[in-house]
Amino acid sequence: MADELLKVNELKERFVDVSEVMQGDLKKLVQFQLTNKSQAILRKIYSRNPDAKVTIEYTIIRNKQGKYEADFLFTTDGDRFITQSHQGFKIATDLVTHAFDKRKRHVLGVFGWKKLFK
| pLDDT score of 2 more than 50 | no
The string of pLDDT tens digits covering residues 44-60 is 888 888 888 999 999 99
Average pLDDT over residues 94-98: 91
In this prediction, residues 33-37 reach a mean pLDDT of 87
* CA dihedral for 42, 44, 45, 51, sign (positive or negative): positive
Report phi then psi at 56, rounded to 5.
-130, 130
DSSP strand E in 17-102: where?
54-62, 68-76, 79-89
User: Which contiguous run of DSSP H or E holds residue 11?
Assistant: strand 10-16
pLDDT(14) > 50: yes
104: pLDDT strictly greater than 50: yes
Domains of the chain, CATH where assigned: 10-108 (3.30.160.100)
For the segment 88-98, the average pLDDT, to the nearest whole number, is: 90
